[in-house]
C-alpha cells in the first residue's frame, strides 16, 4: 500500500513538519529535511503496526516550502 506523507516547512518555528492522513499518529518535526525523512522511515512502520495496518508499505513524500524573497 502507498502511504502519503506531507512535509511542510514551518517558517516561524524553523523546522520541517511531517504529517499523514494515512498514518494515524504521525506528527514529527526536524530542522533538517533529510533527518526528518529518516525519522519518518523509522516511525511509519511502527505506527502502522500499532494500528494493525497492512505491510509492506511504500511512502510517498510530498514537500512544500514557501519563502518570502522580496518585501
Instruction: Give the CATH number of the domain where residue 27 resides.
Output: 3.30.2390.10
* β-bridge partners, 4: 60
The predicted pLDDT at position 71 comes to 76
What is the pLDDT, as a whole number, of residue 68?
82
Q: Is residue 52 part of a domain?
A: yes
- Its domain, for residue 55, covers 2-64
| Sequence-ordered strand ranges (E) for the chain | 2-10, 15-19, 27-30, 58-64
Average pLDDT over residues 8-14: 94
- CA-based R_g, the chain, Å: 13
Q: Is residue 40 part of a domain?
A: yes
- Domains of the chain: total: 1
| 71 belongs to a structural domain | no
Q: Which of 1, 58, 33 is nearest to 18 (CA)?
A: 33
pTM of the model: 0.86
In a domain, 70, yes or no: no
55 located within any domain: yes
- Chain centroid to CA 16: how far? 8
- Report residue 25 as a C-alpha cell: 499518529
Q: Quick one: how far is CA 25 from the chain centroid?
A: 11
Amino acid at each position: 500500500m502507498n502511504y502519503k506523507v506531507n512535509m511542510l516547512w514551518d517558517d516561524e518555528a524553523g523546522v520541517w513538519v511531517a504529517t499523514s492522513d494515512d498514518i494515524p499518529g504521525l506528527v514529527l518535526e526536524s530542522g533538517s529535511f533529510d533527518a526528518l525523512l529518516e525519522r519518518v522511515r523509522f516511525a511509519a512502520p511502527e505506527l502502522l503496526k500499532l494500528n494493525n495496518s497492512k505491510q509492506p508499505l511504500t511512502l510517498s513524500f510530498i514537500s512544500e516550502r514557501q519563502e518570502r524573497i522580496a518585501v
